[in-house]
Each structure stands twice: as structure tokens, then as C-alpha cells.
Amino acid sequence: MPISVGTQLAFVTLVSGIFLLEWTSVFVALLSILALAVILVGVLLVTKTSKGKGAVAKQVILFLCISSAFLMLYVTITSYFGIHGAQVFLPQSIGMFVGGIIISMKKITQLKLKAITRNIVTGSSWVIANTTLFAISSSLGVGVTYSFSQMSLLVATYGSIILLREKKTAGEKRSVYFGTLVYVVGVIGMSLLK
């Protein structure tokens, strides 16, 4: 999750600054890149493991970059075409519905009502997150809004430790604590640019 968040933030910040012209001056561009660098240092610290265990394979990083690139398109393309607020949801809903049907066609016999019902909760959470993201991005800009939305890194990191009981050494815990602090400082720094 932290690596995915880092690549998503890098892509969205750079595209929103360069192509959506959210960087209003060279000074703002430099500060945005500095804030992004601080965020990425935080992400690296959060993902740091002792003795190289849990190293991420190059293929996994490639897939995360592809995923992040398409997520960046998903977040930025509406602003590029000047589509804001409620105008976004019907076309996206149709696309997600059709895409979901196509993806599930291969394994239609494996669909279980219990699993579908449980996933309605995650889908509802996605709707709330998406609605607020697109509603606010028109006033704050995609780069700032998306940076704040990725505070989910904190939930994922601490949730995996507390709820999923992911084991961490004392050094890894210190790295996670310091990394999340650095990450938050970077996100706050990014938000001050608006």
C-alpha cells in the first residue's frame, strides 16, 4: 500500500502541476516537488524492512506503476476536460458497472452472495471517498486534494500492524513512526501551496 500511494502521488502531483497548470509559478513548482520528495521519503521509511526481508520484486513495482498511471488518469482527466462534481459520476458508474461485469464473466460461477454483500460496504466507502474527492478537487486542485486523500496510508499502515497483527521489529516500528511523521509533514507542506 505505501509504495502504491507513493507512485500515485508522484504521478498525480507531476501531471496536475505540468498539464493541469496547477503550478502557478516556478516557486510553487519547486515547493511542490520538494513536498513530494518529503512525502516519498516518508513512504520509503514506512516500507523499510530489516535485513532486506520483504523486498518488493521489480515486476510488482512495474504493476504498481501501471496501476498508479491509470489511477492518475482517472483522477486528472476530468479536470483536464473541465468536468466537475456530479457530472463525473454517471459516466464513471456506467464504466465501472460494465467493467465489473466483463471482469466477473470469467468466474461467474464463483460469485457468492455473501462475498458480494460484504463488498457492498467497500463499494459504498469508495462512493463516499470519490464523491468528496471530486467535489473538493475543483476548488483546491487535483494535486492538493489527492495528496490529502492519500492519508489513507496512515490507516493502511497502522491498520496492518494493529488489526492484521503484522509483525515489526523495534527498528521497523521506529522507521514506521518516523516515516508517517515525515509523510504527514510532506502532505501538509503540499496543502500549504494552494
Domains of the chain by residue range: 2-84+141-191
Q: What is the mean pLDDT of residues 93-109?
A: 79
Percent of the chain with pLDDT over 90: 10
What pLDDT is recorded for position 108?
64
Place 56 in a pLDDT band, splitting at 50, 70 and 90: low
Spatial distance between the Cα atoms of 154 and 157, rounded to a whole number of angstroms:
5
Percent of the chain with pLDDT over 70: 93
Spatial distance between the Cα atoms of 132 and 152, rounded to a whole number of angstroms:
14
Place 33 in a pLDDT band, splitting at 50, 70 and 90: very high
What pLDDT is recorded for position 110?
66
The answer to whether the beta carbons of residues 2 and 153 sit under 8 Å apart is yes
pLDDT score of 34 more than 90? yes
